[in-house]
Structure 1
Amino acid sequence: MQTHYLSEDNSILNHFLGQIRNVNVQHDSMRFRRNIERIGEVMAYELSKDLHYKNVEIQTPLGIKKTTEIADQLVLCSILRAGLPLHLGFLNYFDSAENGFVSAYRHHPYHDDYFDILVEYQAVPNIENKTLLLIDPMLATGQSIVAVFNKLMEKGIPKEIHIAVIIAAPEGIAYLEKHLPDSCHLWVATLDEKLNEKKYIVPGLGDAGDLAYGNKL
């Protein structure tokens, strides 16, 4: 797996990352969603450099201009519900992409720290021989992404696979490296220190879905 770390150089990306972590800013859910969306836009721009392009000619009012445009058939697929504002940021740039949505969550069958991942709702277009962008803001253990990936592969085999996350833990990256094909690209806005005993990212930012849309039962 090829991993791309986007926050190693100073840019506006780090400004947005600081705001989504800041407890004095997080209480504004609209601002939190918008910052996640803007992070998605920055990540989409960076990822776009790795896509395939074709030569085209554009008719302007004064002549013909030779340029390039994206040749890939893109499918954006986000993990509900936390992935929605990040998905929108990518869609703002890849506006002709097809879109898919999958629900995955931690299920605690014994009401303790043990959990498995349940993948339920799926609304996904044909991904066969297309470029799949799998979107989820938090990469903690990596189990959700792998579970969703395996479900998606039942529907077809993409030509290329890109996974985009905002905050990742080293343990999650290691899990993806073990369970996903070597040809996958992982795009990480920022890498954090570790997982705590409950498998949450430290320092992290909390529950991205709750911060964006309110607490759940």
Structure 2
Amino acid sequence: MIKTFGGAVLLGTTLNVNVVVSLPFSSQISFSSASRRTVVSVRSHVTMEDKPVSDSRMLVYVPPHPLIKHWVSVLRNEQTPSPIFRNAMAELGRLLMYEASRDWLPTVSGEIQSPMGVASVEFIDPREPVAVIPILRAGLALAEHASSILPATITYHLGMSRDEETLQPTVYLNKLPKKFAEGSKVFLVDPMLATGGTIVAALSLLKERGLGNKQIKVISACAAPPALQKLSEQFPGLHVYTGIIDPTVNDKGFIIPGLGDAGDRSYGT
């Protein structure tokens, strides 16, 4: 069961998932007021609290931006043709990465000469590229505009398929480095967080290569409680950015109402 309250998403207790709704500011504001982001923390029972969110909790961000709602709506429409669906996925990814990169990217400060005088400046540090890892193939569309948002990026491809009967993931392409550099920051891009099998397997591969939970941000178009509960239990401190949280997953592993098969719809297959 999912309820909405002032733009925040509340997951019901039937899945033994608790959602703590908070706002990422030093002071809280009313739920009836406009907020920059909605923060959802997944735990073991339902509660709401005003105190700061613990770093050990997994956080799920559902940014209440009208453009995000627009592109999610385009993706939901079964009449949306593949080229427009793929473009909508790319635009949604751009917005979610913008939100996810806030206060997270490495920067370098200095001074430059402007036409009118000396100015203090701050640039994204190109010596510390942020890695973008789309999970093929559907993740390619969601990550398409990463380079337009992030000035310094490196892309690693990870191909995973899901067995239609068992719903278990299999890796068919792995271009990850053997070891990530210390302090690396990674966007892991997977449009559909349904049962959680694929994203958990992908995160495990990143952990094996030296990344901590707080070095990774997951970008998704649509998420469901089964995946979020698995992530909360296995990856404390992880941050997930998604366009929408839907209430359930069917016996074939598809999110309901969801978007359908994101890979097939993106590439017309």
- Taking structure 1 as the reference length, the TM-score comes to 0.87
- In the TM superposition, what are the counterparts of 1:21-170 in structure 2 within 5 Å? 21-25=76-80, 28-52=81-105, 53-71=107-125, 73-108=129-164, 113-125=165-177, 127-129=180-182, 130-157=184-211, 160-170=215-225
| Segment of structure 1 superposing worse, 47-56 or 192-201 | 47-56
- In the TM superposition, what are the counterparts of 1:199-210 in structure 2 within 5 Å? 199-210=253-264
Letter in 1 for 2:202: V
Alignment match, 1:5: 62
Give the 3-state SS of the residue equivalent to 2:143 in structure 1.
Answer: helix
Among candidates 181, 184, 194, match of residue 238 of structure 2: 184
How many Å apart are 1:146 and its aligned residue?
A: 1.0
Tell me, in whole angstroms, the C-alpha distance in 2 between the residues paired with 1:37 and 1:84. Answer: 9
Tell me, in whole angstroms, the C-alpha distance in 1 between the residues paired with 2:167 and 2:70. Answer: 34
Tell me, in whole angstroms, the C-alpha distance in 2 between the residues paired with 1:166 and 1:59. Answer: 42
The answer to whether the 8 Å contact 2:94/2:143 transfers is no
Give the 3-state SS of the residue equivalent to 1:19 in structure 2.
Answer: helix
- Taking structure 2 as the reference length, the TM-score comes to 0.71
| Segment of structure 1 superposing worse, 192-201 or 54-63 | 54-63
CA RMSD, aligned part only?
1.8
Runs of 4 or more, structure 1, over 4 Å off, are none
How many Å apart are 1:98 and its aligned residue?
A: 1.0
The answer to whether the 8 Å contact 2:217/2:238 transfers is yes
The answer to whether the 8 Å contact 1:161/1:183 transfers is no
Q: Deviations over 1:117-175 (max 9, x none)?
A: 10121112452220011011110011101111112223332571111111000111001
Q: Deviations over 1:195-215 (max 9, x none)?
A: 012121000011010011122
Percent identical = 31
Please tell me whether Structure 1 or Structure 2 has the larger radius of gyration of its CA atoms.
2
